[in-house]
Amino acid sequence: MPADAEQGTAILHLHGGWFNWGTAAAYRNLVGHIAARAQTAAFVPDYRLAPENPFPAGMRDAEACYRGLVALGFRAIALSGDSAGGNLALVLLSLLASTSSSGGMVPTAAVALSPVTDLTLRGSSIETRAAADPYFTRSQVEGLVRAYLGDTDPHDPLASPLFGNLRGLPPVRIHVGDEEILLEDSRRYIARAVEASVDAKLDVWLGMPHGFVGSVGSLSAADQSLDAVGTFLREQLRTTDR
C-alpha cells in the first residue's frame, strides 16, 4: 500500500490465468503499479482455481473477499482484474449491483484489462486475431474453459458477464490490445454497457498483445494505460469516499 494511500478506500484485484493458474504473488508488481497510481490500498486474493475447484468456486471467493473488505470498514472499493480476473471482476460487479450481497455497499467502479467476457467463445476476434495473438489458440482456450465450467452453460451470467444485467452498474473502463483474440469480448461488453446507460468506455491499444500492461516500466503503452487506469480509479474512489 502506498504511503499516501487514501484512508478507507481499496482496490480488489482478481488475477488472470484462464481460471486454471496464476497466483496473487505473481501479480504483485502489476497491482502495485495500479495501487500506486490510484493512491490507495490493493488486495489480490488467491482464489480457488480449476480444474480442482471449477465454477463457481473462484467467483464465490471473489465475492467473499469483497464482503470481507466491507466488514473491515473500507468505505469505497473498486474492482479490477486482468484476463480471467477481468471476467470475475465484471461478474462480481453485476452481482453486487443487483443483490444485497455487497453488504449494503456497491463497488465504486471497475477496470478490466483484456477481460474474458464471453465463455461461449463466439467473439469474431478469436478467428480474426488468431495469427496476431502470440499467447492463445482456440483449442487451448476451449480446453481451459471446459476445465473451469464443467457442465455449466457458458451463457450463465455468473460465468460470462457479457450476458449479465448491466443496468445500474457504476462506471466501467476496459483496456485491451488490438491484436488479442479477446478484443471482441471487450468491444461487445462495452457496447452492451453503454446501451444500458452505464458510464462505460473502451481503450483499444493498437499493436498490443494480450497482457501488454504487464510490461509496465519497459513499454510506453503499458505505462500510459496504467496511468489512465490509476487516474480513473483515484477519481472514482475519492468521489465515493467523500
Residue 13 lies in a domain: yes
Query: Which pLDDT does position 1 carry in this prediction?
Result: 43
Catalytic residues: 83, 180, 210
Residue 241 lies in a domain: no
Residue 181 lies in a domain: yes
pLDDT higher than 50, residue 159: yes
Residue 114 lies in a domain: yes
What is the mean predicted confidence (pLDDT) over 93-118?
87
Mean pLDDT, rounded, of the chain:
93
Residue 107 lies in a domain: yes
Q: DSSP character for 215?
A: G
- Full-model pTM: 0.94
Under 8 Å between Cβ of 112 and 172: yes
User: At which residue does the C-alpha cell 468491444 appear?
Assistant: 187
Q: Output the domain CATH number for residue 14.
A: 3.40.50.1820
Closest CA to 229 of 169, 173, 171, 182: 173
Query: Which pLDDT does position 240 carry in this prediction?
Result: 74
C-alpha cell at 87: 471476467
pLDDT higher than 70, residue 103: no
Residue 239 lies in a domain: no
How many structural domains compose the chain?
Answer: 1
Could you tell me which residues come within 8 angstroms of residue 36 by beta carbon, excluding any fewer than 6 positions away?
2, 230
Residue ranges making up the domain that contains 81:
9-234
Residue 240 lies in a domain: no
Positive or negative CA dihedral for 33, 213, 176, 61? negative
Per-residue pLDDT band for 242 (boundaries 50, 70, 90) equals: low
Query: Which pLDDT does position 241 carry in this prediction?
Result: 60
Residue 159 lies in a domain: yes
